[in-house]
Structure 1
Amino acid sequence: MNSLSRRGFLVGLACATALAATGCGLSGGDPGAAGGPVTGEVKGSITFQTWALKPKYTDYLNGLVTRFQQAHPGTTVNWVDQPADGYLKKVTADAAAGALPDVVNMPPDLSYPLAKQKLLVDIGSAMPDAAKDYLDNAWSAYALPGQSGSYGFPWYLNTGPVFYNKALFTQAGLDAEHPPTTYAELESAALAMAQHSDRKIAMLGLTPVIADFALYGVNVMDPGGTRFTFNEDKGVRFVELYKKLYDAGALIPEALTANYTGAGTKFMNQQIAWAPGSAYDLSNFKTNAPSLYPNVGITKPITNTGHATMFVQGLSVPESSKNKPTALAFARFVTNAENQLAFAKLVNIFPSTKGTMDDPYFSKSDGTDEAKVRVAAAKQLGTAVNYTPVQWSDQMLTVLQQQLAEAMLGKKSAKQALDEVVAQCDKLLAG
């Protein structure tokens, strides 16, 4: 249901933040051995890699680098930015070659395989005092199941409301001022819209991703994170719900195509009526879909757990770095409270540092739609969960999409499809 949960969030935005560094407890001594505190003087050269931030955020990041270098005379930060296309493959290849930059922007699911191979610094061990600065749910997003530690500094967060098309709701005889708040209500509204429009307007534009199963209340993995369990009865019912909607024309046929990315465009073209998203999307609608914008309604995500989805981006330091003291100091500098707040006011993202969302920017609305979304999302993030397991990979996503398509088309039962997904994903997990 949520296009953003296909891969972290805001892929075209992978960004950074800034604050006056305090030395980060790294003065004196020599770099510690792997698995222990890292000490040493903050000096020398490092390379900092981001994900698709040029040219929009060039001034911000150049300023960030300059302030760090001024705070630490004798340091040089070389900022490189990689394009969105192929970024994840490049990071994986560089890791295998031992050629990762000193500080790398990566989401939790990319950090997991690298940390599992002991290619990333355990921040919890290297900087034992760092965890206290970050929201617990953000810090834990970079934890490695089955062992202690955390392998990334949370950089920024997002979550989102659900956007819906009031005009399409009204045309279908639905109450545009009272959108669905439960899955049962969403099902009823989706069926009514498909029937009223003679299947020309669908409510939904995507089959569910793994985070959607978790939102529905499905146990995605066993407590130890050793095997997948979303083929349980509740998971089967969830897929059967989508099958019912697909058969009625309430889920677009294109959604069955692997890695389909057109749902957002269909919402902007007013061809589907329901689009979970993020605070970033509202300004995008205003700019790129002016005819849609007056019809956009905003509501809370539907969840059976009481907790919304949280998307996380962060900064990791490879074990291969030759200058860990400076790399860790810079990563913490980028992600400290002052710099996260500054960046969040520049872009529609949210800070991962404790107390930062108490700022009036996140806690008080000026009555505009943008402010309403921002305040609601900030409040939501306090208890939000990163529902996508760090073990979840693109290969697993492809398997899920393929098997859901089989179920939607009636080639397999929901149970058969999920059993096959779980079997294949467990095999990938073991490998």
Structure 2
Amino acid sequence: MRIRTTLATGLAAVTALALAGCTGGAAPAPGGGGAVDTKGELSGEIQFQTWSLKNEKFTPYFEALIEDFEKEHPKVKVEWLDQPGDGYQDKILSQANSNTLPDVLNLPPDIAFPLVKAGKLLDLDEADPGLEDKYNEGGWDAYSSFTGVDGTYGLPWYLGSDESWWNMKQLGEVGVKEADLPTSTDAWLELAKKVAADSNGKVKLVSSMPGLDTFVSADIDIMDDDGTFIFNTPEAVEIVQQYADAYKAGAMPPESLTGSYGGNAEMYLQEKVAYSTGGSGFAGDLRTKAPSLLETTVATPRPGIPPLFVQGVNVAADSDNKAAALAFAEFVTNQENQVEFVKIAVGFAPGTAEGADEVVSAVEGDLDPAQAKAMKVMFDAIPNAEATPFQWTGGMTDYLNQQMALAIRGDAPAKETLDKIVKYANDNRIDQ
């Protein structure tokens, strides 16, 4: 199972327009409606929709979850729906346009956004004030940062992040020890240049071009309060120039700038690079594909601010049974049930403020020691992790990669490159 971050390539904009069209041309205000009382006796039927989770691995969990909720609320009946992985956003659009959204559904922030703008999701801040402290801060913020909209429109459910993976055998050959591994973006790039020089280009620590997450990790402001991209700063220019310097020093494989690039994890498995990023499940890939490499690999937190991948549970604003729907959404995402879920979805963290230690202690005995250690590294990083803004699309990533390759090869100035990328991003915002 992998985190599902679609980062829509323009479809979200089409979605927003289509939703506005189905309401007469002007999207309504996002779904509020005040507090929803879930404390009294609940009754009626609700639908709960997941995203590609009805299978041998997860079906028993959801059947037991629903049974437990129905025991607590014997007058409520929960119908579980599940949609395939492919075409999920199209399905959500179809349901929203036909006013058939399930009462409770699973949406990552980027897919949730057009529904929020169209008033199709319930503002959970208004519906049940005081929920925020129960959930992971970064996950909560991911559903509270929709441009021009107040409120929160999803409860963080399960979370993922990347960490750093280091080939200590290669690094040891140039005198680098585990205690020397960097904790900031600047220090990592400086080490990359030094290692490349000391090894005559044999040991490479830069395995991909900078992406938006690189600037997030470096604590560079990505957007202003109005949702305008602003990451063409002197600090970002310096990072791009450091990448260019590292490339020139031989710290970066040439194919990482071309269409033949297969990803930094694959290059790490082939030992073309001594550094990669990846989730805690990468230990399993190493065990399967390169067991000898696993023995010399160390996992540490990503330099700087770690990335955050978010899945959430949302409530339809048009639900005919908001009380039961909200109560069930909170039940699905409470600490006890999230802990039980991520015991099965090994490698993911609960979206609650607490519970990670429970997961680690429960599963580490059944895991490969390397994966157990990597999972703990990731879980320790999750409280400080930040999600990439939902406004950043796949099309923007493609444009960034095209321009960044020129800058890193030295064919374009770093400042000019960032200015072009930021202009392209602002010209193609999905929230306008």
Range of TM-score over shorter length: 0.7 to 0.9
SS at match of 1:345: helix
User: Which structure 1 residue ranges, 5 or more long, are not aligned?
Assistant: 9-32
Matched, 1:351 2:350: yes
Shift, 1:418, TM fit? 0.9
Matched, 1:66 2:64: no
Shift, 1:46, TM fit? 0.7
1:156 is matched with 158
2:414 is matched with 414
Paired residues for 1:26-425 under 5 Å: 34-39=32-37, 41-51=42-52, 54-73=55-74, 74-83=76-85, 85-92=86-93, 94-96=95-97, 98-143=99-144, 144-175=146-177, 178-195=180-197, 199=201, 202-222=204-224, 224-257=225-258, 262-303=263-304, 307-346=305-344, 347-357=346-356, 359=358, 361=360, 368-382=369-383, 384-425=384-425
Shift, 1:197, TM fit? 6.1
SS at match of 1:292: helix
Q: Distance in 1 between matches of 2:4 and 2:217?
A: 12
SS at match of 1:279: coil
C-alpha offsets along residues 62-121 of structure 1, whole Å, 9 cap, x if unaligned? 3323333333334032231422x4434544554455444333322223323331232222
Shift, 1:154, TM fit? 0.4
Q: Distance in 2 between matches of 1:154 and 1:169?
A: 38
**What amino acid maps onto 1:48 in structure 2?**
Q
**What amino acid maps onto 2:63 in structure 1?**
N
Q: Kindly report the root-mean-square deviation, in angstroms, between the aligned alpha carbons of the 2 structures.
A: 3.3
C-alpha offsets along residues 108-139 of structure 1, whole Å, 9 cap, x if unaligned? 23323331232222111222243342233332
Shift, 1:335, TM fit? 0.7
Shift, 1:392, TM fit? 2.1
Equivalenced residues, count: 399
Change (3 A) 1:111 1:290: same
Q: Give the structure-1-normalised TM-score.
A: 0.80
Does the 8 Å contact 2:207/2:273 carry over to 1? Answer: yes
Shift, 1:357, TM fit? 3.5
SS at match of 1:291: helix
Shift, 1:380, TM fit? 2.8
Change (3 A) 1:171 1:7: farther
User: Which structure 2 residue ranges, 5 or more long, are not aligned?
Assistant: 8-30
1:27 is matched with none
Q: Give the structure-2-normalised TM-score.
A: 0.80
Shift, 1:344, TM fit? 2.5
**What amino acid maps onto 1:275 in structure 2?**
S
Change (3 A) 1:110 1:87: same
1:17 is matched with none
